[in-house]
Amino acid sequence: MAGEPHRQPAKQLSSFREDVVAGLSLPRKSLSPKYFYDAAGSRLFERICRLREYYLTRAELALTRSHLAAITRFAGRRGTLVEYGSGESLKSRLLIHALRPAAYIPVDISQEALQAAARRLAREFPRLDIVPVVGDFSRPLTLPVKGRRSSCAVYFPGSTIGNLTPGEAQAFLAMTRGQAGRMLVGVDLKKDANILHAAYNDAKGVTAAFNLNLLRRINRELGGDFDLRRFAHYAFYNPGPGRIEMHLVSLARQTVSVGKHRFGFGAGESIHTENSYKYSIDEFQDLAAKAGFRGARAWTDRRGLFSLHGLVAG
């Protein structure tokens, strides 16, 4: 069964305008990747997950299937499973089958994706108590978790943690330490930059459409007049910080309005729209330790592309 989604207070979901105006007013323009995920953005991300070049989803599914028994022993059966950034809850199905949780609490900022996923899961697992929460995990969240913290496991797959800066990731982990005794975190691994480059520059242009959809969303929801033909998707691996950077590059000198605000762009100037940090196993375990977690286990796929960390609150 899946009830009506819990919603966090309206303020959390109404800051889109303020954040866009603030981000486009910076000397180096930037927008938070959390705004990619309107209904269209969530659908585009689902297409990305099925692309030949986007190895992350396949690698994480493969490693979860092959280590499912050990992952189940680590997370524990019949407790509460909280999932952050659950999207279409693709990988969660494997865990729900194995863990048989008493309750599943998927948390996502994208209401449409969350509700559609909860409805599908309710058909597949009719006896599971599904409590969807529409909310932003970059802010403090109150979750409807019943029972003891020790019987709650938090699942954060997909390397969504890589979309946070290391400082934000540490703060996020520290916040979840108060919610659960154990965490499972999917983290993309450092690798050949050519493989990374292809994953964020797919031949069909789906990642480009995903990036540009942010401007379409600003036009629709905030009264913007971005001309999508005058911006280009640009993604590259920056080895210093160890991250893929996604940008939208202005192809001309131009002025864009968002409601009553006007923003000038030079030719070649970019809006930085996403970071996707890649970590070695040790780098991520060090980060988790700073947030008060012990990296108890780390599973990888056979090709060593992706990792799933089992963290225990220390």
Helix (H, G, I), strand (E, B) or coil at 306: strand
Region of residue 89 (left: phi > 0; alpha: psi -120 to 50; beta: else) = left
C-alpha to C-alpha distance for 192 and 162, rounded to whole angstroms: 17
19/46 with CB nearer ligand AVI: 46
Helix (H) or strand (E) holding 212: helix 206-222
Q: What are phi and psi of 225, to 5 degrees?
A: -130, 40
C-alpha to C-alpha distance for 231 and 224, rounded to whole angstroms: 14
- If we measure between CA atoms, which residue out of 300, 289, 186, 191 comes closest to residue 242? 191
CB 49 → ligand SAH: shortest distance, Å? 6
Per rule CB under 6 A, is residue 5 in the interface with ligand SAH? no
Per rule CB under 6 A, is residue 19 in the interface with ligand SAH? no
- If we measure between CA atoms, which residue out of 85, 150, 97, 155 comes closest to residue 127? 97
- Per-residue binding string, ligand SAH, 41-70, x by CB under 6 A, is -x--x---x-------x-------------
134/256 with CB nearer ligand SAH: 134
C-alpha to C-alpha distance for 226 and 249, rounded to whole angstroms: 12
- Per-residue binding string, ligand AVI, 138-177, x by CB under 6 A, is --------------------xxx-xx--------------
Q: Judged by CB under 6 A, how many residues of this single chain contact ligand AVI?
A: 11
Per rule CB under 6 A, is residue 138 in the interface with ligand SAH? yes
C-alpha to C-alpha distance for 261 and 263, rounded to whole angstroms: 7
- Tell me the residue number closest to ligand SAH, measured at CB: 158
The region of 93-101, 106-114, 122-130, 209-217 touching ligand SAH under the rule CB under 6 A is 106-114
Per rule CB under 6 A, is residue 157 in the interface with ligand SAH? yes
Q: For the CA atoms of the chain, what is the radius of gyration?
A: 19
In the complex, the residues that contact ligand SAH under the rule CB under 6 A are 34, 37, 42, 45, 49, 57, 85-87, 90-91, 108-110, 113, 136-138, 157-158, 160
In the complex, the residues that contact ligand AVI under the rule CB under 6 A are 48, 56, 158-160, 162-163, 200, 207, 274, 276
